[in-house]
Amino acid sequence: MSKIVIQNLNKLYNPNKPNAFYALKNINLSIEDGQIVILKGVSGSGKSTLLSLIGGLSKPSSGEILVNNQNIAKLPDIMSSAFRHQKIGFIFQSFNLLEGLSVYQNILAPLALTKLGKEAMHEKVNQAMQLANIEHKKDQNVGSLSGGERQRCAIARAVVMEPEIILADEPTANLDKENSFIFIEILKKFKLLHKTVIIATHDTLFDDLACIDRCVQMRDGELLE
């Protein structure tokens, strides 16, 4: 049974208007549990849109997205958010941290929706920080972190709820070579933890990496096989 099954997925922006266009056309894709998949393609090829849809950040115009055999495309907001909260971890290109808070407080955000006690939450945050190697900066305001550190804080936040699926949109676009390699090390940890990872990127660094299971090319909203 595949972890993620996408069937006949379409996303049309600005329907019924003169500037309507298909960001995704008839996407069919299957991703197995524990696989690390790269979505390759230039800007505008639709990879970010596809990630958005898988993560439930937006809704498709038609088609199905089955995760663990449940169609998440038509879930009402409460359930879609609960799914996102428990099963998905996002890593964004621009990191998307909450400015004005510390690293610890940023990582705590997803836990605010849980009923865990203080010690349990503390434990989870610590584990996440260890995985991302950002423990030493835990009380620092995110505004004063370097690019690589911000990325690692974002990673820690993405994994604190121990999600099954990690979605990364251009994770290395704003990082230097050294930090990009650090990201790849963390990717290997994800592999060991048997997480399903989808990375949308046009960074050639990911070519020929041993931990990558599949590479899917995209162009103009379609998959190239």
Interface residues with other proteins (CB under 8 A) are: 15, 48-49, 52, 55, 57-62, 73-82, 84-86, 88, 90, 92-94, 96-98, 100-101, 105, 108-116, 121, 157, 161, 169
**Considering the complex, what minimum distance in angstroms separates the CB of residue 210 from other proteins?**
30
CB-based contact 46:221 (threshold 8 Å): yes
Cα–Cα distances (Å) from 68 to 65, 71, 90, 127, 133, in that order, read 10, 9, 18, 26, 30
Estimate the share of the chain in helix, then strand, then coil, as percent rounded to the nearest 5: 35, 25, 35
**Considering the complex, what minimum distance in angstroms separates the CB of residue 118 from other proteins?**
9
**Considering the complex, what minimum distance in angstroms separates the CB of residue 181 from other proteins?**
25
CA–CA gap between residue 87 and residue 159 (Å, rounded): 10
Nearer CB in complex with other proteins: 25/191: 25
Nearer CB in complex with other proteins: 85/138: 85
| End-to-end Cα separation, the chain, in angstroms | 21
Going by C-alpha positions, the residue among 201, 165, 182, 191 that lies closest to residue 86 is 165
Nearer CB in complex with other proteins: 126/209: 126
Cα–Cα distances (Å) from 204 to 94, 124, 172, 208, in that order, read 19, 33, 10, 9
**Considering the complex, what minimum distance in angstroms separates the CB of residue 23 from other proteins?**
10
**Considering the complex, what minimum distance in angstroms separates the CB of residue 179 from other proteins?**
21
CA–CA gap between residue 53 and residue 66 (Å, rounded): 11
**Considering the complex, what minimum distance in angstroms separates the CB of residue 223 from other proteins?**
20
Nearer CB in complex with other proteins: 169/212: 169
Nearer CB in complex with other proteins: 116/224: 116
CA–CA gap between residue 125 and residue 114 (Å, rounded): 13
Nearer CB in complex with other proteins: 109/224: 109
